[in-house]
Structure 1
Amino acid sequence: MKTCPRCDLSLDDEARYCVECGAPQTEDAAEELDEYVQRQAQQVAAEPGNAGAGNSGNGGTDGGSGFVPTEDLTDREQLWRRGCYVFGYGTIVVALTLVPQVGAFLLILGGIAILPPIRRLTAEPLGSPLKREVMAGLYVLFALLGVLLLLL
């Protein structure tokens, strides 16, 4: 009898996998497991919901995991993301200079609402990421209310 190198369970000499932990016991079994894992990874990557393609109406910018490398985004999506960062952080910086005033807090909320990471953070509790139009609408709403409060 041999023992599993991972969990030290006693196994039959012909066993290809450990019945306790599933570790391959022969080179052939290890190669078979590697091929299976590679096939599964290719199938997962080829599914429509992965690799930034066709995800819940967001233009493919955020997948189920929330992260899409920048080089996988189209030029339009990269421009949108960069613009959101510029407007979001710009609004926050301006609002921080006006902090004692009431309208500054709405400007800060507007700046935060348009930042791309907020889409990923809201995806889990809401079930899907907010659409870009919704985020832009929230930004405009908070910014207008903040400016109105600053002017009054």
Structure 2
Amino acid sequence: MASCPRCEASIDDEARFCAECGAPQTEDAAEELDEYVQRQAEEVAGAGSTDGGNAESNAFPSKEELTDRQQLWRRGCYVAGYGTVVVALTLVPAVGAFPLILAGIAILPPIRRLTAEPLGSPLKREVMAGLYAIFAVIGAALLFLL
């Protein structure tokens, strides 16, 4: 019986790969593994390209593809959303805190991605801002009235 040069486990003389660590034991096995890894890398790289026809990648451009105005909008949404959620969590026993939490969640940019699949397309930024305003007004009114 031979031993694996990588993990020193005992393996059969005719084994192409080590049963313990998976290391190739022959030149042919090493070339086969390299080709497999190359194919997997090409598939992963091909799936992430915008010319693959993926509608989601077109609806949600990467950070490098965003204009300065879009980046400012996204940052503002994060600040408003997380700020509202943090403030609302400090007021949790009050009834008005729960609409404020929903408002903070509604304005966060990842919510657009989450709503895109069940709705068929992402909600527009204006709709997200409108939801934020509605929930925030309801929450603030409940806090002041109750």
Task: Give the structure-2-normalised TM-score.
Answer: 0.59
Q: Which residue of structure 1 lines up, in the alignment, with residue 2 of structure 2?
A: 2
Give the Å deviation of 1:105. 2.9
Root-mean-square deviation (CA, aligned residues, Å) is 4.2
- What displacement does 1:77 show? 5.1
Asked if the contact 1:11–1:18 (Cα under 8 Å) also holds between the matched residues in 2, the reply is no
1:38 alignment partner in structure 2: 38
Q: Is the 8 A contact 1:110 1:140 kept in 2?
A: yes
In 1, Cα distance between the equivalents of 2:19 and 2:93?
Answer: 63
1:144 aligns with 2:137: yes
Q: Aligned partners of 1:51, 1:77: CA distance in 2, in Å?
A: 21
Q: Deviation string for 1:84-140 (max 9, x for gaps)?
A: 2122123235546766643233112211332245567x58xx879x83439815433
Is there any run of 5+ residues in structure 2 with no aligned partner, and where? none
Question: For residues 44 and 145 of structure 1, what CA distance do their matches in structure 2 show?
Answer: 45
Q: Report the AA paired with residue 26 of structure 1.
A: T
Number of aligned pairs?
136
From the superposition, tell whether residues 100 and 23 of structure 1 become closer, same or farther in structure 2 (CA, over 3 Å). Answer: closer
Q: Is the 8 A contact 1:106 1:146 kept in 2?
A: yes
Greater alpha carbon shift after TM alignment, 21-30 vs 34-43: 21-30
Q: Which has the larger radius of gyration?
A: 2
Whether the aligned pair in 1 keeps the contact of 2:97 and 2:139 (CA below 8 Å) is: yes
Note if contact 2:50-2:57 (Cα within 8 Å) is conserved in structure 1.
no
- Residues in 1 aligned to 2:2 and 2:85: alpha-carbon distance in whole angstroms: 65
The percentage of aligned residue pairs carrying the same residue is: 56
Letter aligned with residue 39 of structure 1: R
Q: Tell me what 1:115 maps to.
A: 108
Tell me the secondary structure at the aligned position of residue 59 of structure 2.
coil
Q: Which amino acid aligns with 1:81?
A: R
Within the candidate set 117, 122, 131, 2:122 is matched to 131
**Mapping 1:11-90, distance limit 5 Å:** 11-12=13-14, 17-18=16-17, 20=19, 22-27=22-27, 29-47=29-47, 50=48, 54=54, 56=56, 59-60=59-60, 70=63, 72-75=64-67, 78-90=71-83
Offset, 1:150: 3.5
The answer to whether the Cα contact below 8 Å between 1:4 and 1:11 also exists between their aligned partners in 2 is no
Cα displacement (A) at 1:82: 1.0
Bigger helix share? 2
Distance 1:98 1:23, change over 3 A: closer
